[in-house]
Structure formats: C-alpha cells, structure tokens
A and B are shown apart, each in its own frame.
Chain A
Amino acid sequence: MPEKQDHIVSSFDKELRTIHEIIIRMGGMAENQLAEAVDALVQRDSAKAELVRAEDAKIDELEEELESAVVQLIALRQPVANDLRAVISALKISSDLERIGDYAKNIAKRSIAINQMPPQKSVTSIMRMSRLVQEIVKDTLDAFSTSDKDRAIDVWHRDEEVDEMYTSLFRELLTYMMEDPRNISACTHMLFIAKNIERMGDHATNIAETIYYLSTGERLEGKRPKGDRTSFQVLTPDSNGPNNDREIEI
C-alpha cells in the first residue's frame, strides 16, 4: 500500500497506513499460531496447545478492529482506484487470515486429544506439510507488504505442492487405520489436522489472488492447478500393494 505520492489530506494516508499495519500484524500472528500449534503436536505439549487456543481471540479482535477502520474509511473518504482496492483487499485478506487462525486453533485442540494417545508416525509428514504452508503464508505476507504481483503469482502456484502432500498423507493415514483399528481415533484427528493445514494453503492462495488484484486492478486469470485428489479416492483393505487403490471420478 505504500504510495509514491501522499494524499493532499494527510489523515487519509494515516488511516490507510493503520489498515495496512493491522493486516501485517494479523499475518504475523496467524503464521506464528500455525507454527506453535504444530510444535504443540510434535512436542506433545498440551500447555502450548492451550496457549494457541487462547491466542486466537487476539486475531479475531484485530479482524474486528480492521473491519471498523475499513467501514469508517469508506464512509468518510469514499476511496477510489488504488485506495479503494487497498481497503477492499484488506477486508478480504483479514477474513482469510482470521480463518487461518481458526484452523491453527483447531489443530491445537486436536493435538491435546492426540497427546493422550500413543505417539503417531504421521507426525513427521504433518510437520513437513506445515513447514511448507508456513513458508507460503510468509511469502504471501511479504508479497502483500510490497504489493509484489510476481511473488503473489509464485505463491499461487505453490499451493499445488500442499495439495499433493495432503493427498499422500491421506493415503498414509488410511493405511495406518487399516493396519490396526486402534489407530483410527488418532488418525482421524491427524486427518483433520492435515485438512486444516491444506485449507490454510487455500486461504494463502486466496490472499495471493487478492494481492494480484490490489496491485494490477485485474483478476488472476486461469484455473489454479489442483493437486488434492482425495475427494475421488477409495482405498479398500483388499487392495494390498501401493497401486491397487482406485479413484472414482465423480
């Protein structure tokens, strides 16, 4: 949002800067919440998970603060052109960040449940996936702070990797569940955690699209490559061996 030239009315610039700063703060917090939630899972640290749950309220508060700032600015300044795109984008991005925060909170809740069960092998894969999504969220925020459309496009494409990791984790977890029904409870929680992380990636993608619009005034054209194929997958206990699972097209 930083502009080459300031507005004649300087308080307008101040209000736009405030909105920009709230987004940056929300982004930092959402990124941190994901890291902490996955740490709580990996380290089997329920106290940390509780902290993550409590911290989520702060992101929600920031979202409300941003909403009022945007409504007030639209009502009092009637922004147009890049100013209008900046405030509308901020509103959309804040709701994506708030959702990312919610998913982190849900991961924390589930990790408290998982901590009461034996350690899970799939934690390593979750960790890998979360690291990738953390990087994507961070790059998205960097793209936002510099209004860098090329970086936004780059992030937009990288979500495919997350989807692929999720598909592979889905199969891994189904296999553990088939191996031993006692795994089902923990693996189901792990599956939801994986899905949460995958959804965070989708929200980062939304943010990337918004950044592209913010900086160019145009929508990102074309269909995003999708790697999440779990909606079509059927894995049966009879199908031993890695290649025997089937995909049904719906």
Chain B
Amino acid sequence: MSYAMDMQNFNTINDPITSEPKIIARDVNVFYGASQALKSINLNIGANEVTSLIGPSGCGKSTFLRCLNRMNDVIENCVVEGRINLDGIDIYNSGLDPVLLRARVGMVFQKPNPFPKSIYDNVAYGPKLHGIVSNKDELDERVEKSLRRAGLWDEVKDRLDKPGTGLSGGQQQRLCIARAIAINPEVILMDEPCSALDPIATAKIEELIDELRKRFTIVIVTHSMQQAARVSQKTAFFHMGEVVEVGETDKLFTSPQDDRTQGYITGRFG
C-alpha cells in the first residue's frame, strides 16, 4: 500500500488523528522465538506530539518502542512482521540502513548511560561520527545548542571537560537527551526516562519533553500514569501484546472506552 493510500486509510483503525502521522505502524507482530510479544499492532504516531505507551510489565510497550528504530534487530530470535513507515518509507523492507535510521530516530534509555568521556565529548560524539559538522567552531556551536535545548547548558558550561559520569542522575539523563538531539533526529524514543530520577529531576525532564516536542516527535514508555497524563497528547494502552485502546490523553484518563483500560488506570488490575 502506498503512503498516499495509507494517509487516506489511516483513520480506518480506531485511533483518533491528533496530528499528521510521522510514523504509521500496521499489523506489527513480534516474536521472540516461539512466543509472540506483539499481536497485530496498529498505531499512528503524530508528528510533533508526545505519544505515551502505558501498560503492565510484559505488555509489549518497550518491544514496540524498540521496533521503531530497529533496536530489536540485535536480539537473537526476534522476528518483526508487518509494516512500520517513517514518513511513508517502510523502515524494515526498503533497504534503509539501520544506522541511518537510528540517527533519525534517537533513543533515551531508562538508566542514564553517558559515555565515560567528558561532557563535551558525550554530545560531540554523534555529530563527529555522522560527519554533520565540518570544523571545530560548528561542533562547538552544535554542542552548546544541544545542551541548551536539553536545559543543561547553564549547569555545565564551566565544566565541559569534566566527565559526564560525574553529573547527578537528572543531569546525566539530560546529557543523554542532549547527545540524542545533537545529531538532529526527527523522532526521539524514551524508555522510562525518569524511572531512576527524583521528583525534581523528573519535573525538569517533563518540562524539557514538552519543549522538545515543538521540534521532534516523541514516543515515551512510562510506568507512571501521572507522567503519561502530564506529558503526552496521545496515549496508547498495551495489554498482553495488544493495543487495547488509544486516544487523546485527556479523554483516555477521564473517560476510557474499554473496561481493561479503566481497570488498569484506576488501579484495579495490573
């Protein structure tokens, strides 16, 4: 099916369109060996908005997130079926280089994982590797811009040569976000980015997420329903490998349509 046809048909699944889809997933099945982790997932990820994926442990939300930049490729026995289109290009079957894909679809992990290098080098690494900058001045500018966008510049500008691992947990996570946005991705995937952080650091990341969505499309996996409610425009509830319900976040948290969604978000099962 062509992208144009997809655009015409993308509302045939029960998924309200809140902004033009950046990523369209259709009939996505994922198997780890014999066991099926995702069952026929259909989802539209809107451009320049935050989509949160919620659900009990083992429901497949992280697996789905990792499909979006082919992180599952490195897992042995993992088979991904179906289509995932990024701006109309099938990321699995079009010969797209996974390394280039991951430059367009960046990722931030649960535990901050800065490289054992200086703060500067952590951010400069990607642009250098991808040849995005041609001289030192451009690199300096990019590092500063990325750190500013990640809301970290003022806190680290006087110690850029100090190791990134010496920062606090919240700062490290913002450093990882700066590192992810330094190579100008279009989409940022976040896998529980705040679960290791205290409430103040969490609030700073959430404020940052809201700021970042003006430039990037963001997909976030979170165990905190309040966080999903606070940061996202759209929420998808996963349960046992399926998308049970997807909708505008404010509607999903006030009037969910499916009993399972209601049961989960109100703390009746999970």
Tell me the A residues contacting B by CB distance below 8 Å. 3-9, 12, 78-85, 216-218
Residue of A nearest to B268 (CB): A5
Are the C-beta atoms of B269 and A5 separated by less than 8 Å?
Answer: yes
Are the C-beta atoms of A81 and B226 separated by less than 8 Å?
Answer: no
Does chain A have a CB within 8 A of B16?
A: no
Residue of A nearest to B225 (CB): A80
A84 to B268, CA, bound (A): 14
The 8 closest A-B pairs by CB, nearest first: A217-B255, A5-B268, A80-B253, A83-B266, A81-B262, A80-B265, A7-B267, A81-B266
Residues of A within 8 A of B253 (CB): 80-81, 84
Question: CB < 8 Å: which of A79, A216, A217 contacts B266?
Answer: A79
Does chain A have a CB within 8 A of B229?
A: yes
- Contact flags B230-270 to A (C-beta < 8 A → 1, else 0): 00000000000000000000000111100101110111111
Are the C-beta atoms of A8 and B268 separated by less than 8 Å?
Answer: yes
Residue of B nearest to A6 (CB): B268
Given contact pairs A5-B263, A5-B268, A81-B265, enumerate 16 new A-B contacts (beta carbons under 8 Å): A7-B266, A7-B267, A8-B268, A8-B269, A8-B270, A9-B267, A80-B225, A80-B229, A80-B265, A81-B253, A81-B255, A81-B261, A82-B262, A82-B266, A83-B266, A84-B254
Residues of B within 8 A of A4 (CB): 259
Shortest distance between the CB of A90 and any CB in chain B (Å): 16
Residues of A within 8 A of B262 (CB): 81-82
Residues of B within 8 A of A82 (CB): 262, 266
Are the C-beta atoms of B267 and A8 separated by less than 8 Å?
Answer: yes
A4 to B255, CA, bound (A): 17
Shortest distance between the CB of A12 and any CB in chain B (Å): 7
Tell me the B residues contacting A by CB distance below 8 Å. 225-226, 229, 253-256, 259, 261-263, 265-270
Are the C-beta atoms of A7 and B268 separated by less than 8 Å?
Answer: yes
A84 to B267, CA, bound (A): 12
Residues of B within 8 A of A218 (CB): 255
A83 to B255, CA, bound (A): 10
Residues of B within 8 A of A78 (CB): 226
Shortest distance between the CB of B57 and any CB in chain A (Å): 14
Question: CB < 8 Å: which of A12, A85, A217 contacts B267?
Answer: A12
Residues of A within 8 A of B256 (CB): 81
Residues of B within 8 A of A84 (CB): 253-254
Interface centre among B253, B266, B269 (most CB of A within 10 A): B266
A148 to B229, CA, bound (A): 29
A28 to B226, CA, bound (A): 37
Interface centre among A3, A7, A80, A217 (most CB of B within 10 A): A80
A5 to B265, CA, bound (A): 13
Question: CB < 8 Å: which of A3, A9, A81 contacts B254?
Answer: A81
A3 to B268, CA, bound (A): 10
For this complex, 20 residue pairs linking A to B, each with C-beta atoms less than 8 Å apart, are: A3-B268, A4-B259, A5-B263, A5-B269, A6-B268, A8-B267, A8-B268, A8-B269, A12-B267, A80-B253, A80-B254, A80-B265, A81-B253, A81-B255, A81-B256, A81-B265, A81-B266, A82-B262, A85-B254, A85-B255
Shortest distance between the CB of A212 and any CB in chain B (Å): 12
Residue of A nearest to B262 (CB): A81
Interface centre among B226, B256, B267, B269 (most CB of A within 10 A): B267
Residue of B nearest to A83 (CB): B266
Shortest distance between the CB of A83 and any CB in chain B (Å): 5
Residues of A within 8 A of B225 (CB): 80
Residue of B nearest to A5 (CB): B268
Shortest distance between the CB of B182 and any CB in chain A (Å): 36
Residues of A within 8 A of B261 (CB): 81
Interface centre among B254, B265, B268 (most CB of A within 10 A): B268
A4 to B266, CA, bound (A): 13
A44 to B265, CA, bound (A): 56
A78 to B224, CA, bound (A): 12
A216 to B251, CA, bound (A): 12
Residue of A nearest to B264 (CB): A81
A217 to B259, CA, bound (A): 13
A59 to B104, CA, bound (A): 62
A105 to B251, CA, bound (A): 40
Residues of A within 8 A of B267 (CB): 7-9, 12
Residues of B within 8 A of A3 (CB): 268
Residue of B nearest to A8 (CB): B267
Shortest distance between the CB of B55 and any CB in chain A (Å): 15
Residue of A nearest to B256 (CB): A81
Are the C-beta atoms of B266 and A80 separated by less than 8 Å?
Answer: yes
A84 to B269, CA, bound (A): 17
Shortest distance between the CB of B206 and any CB in chain A (Å): 16
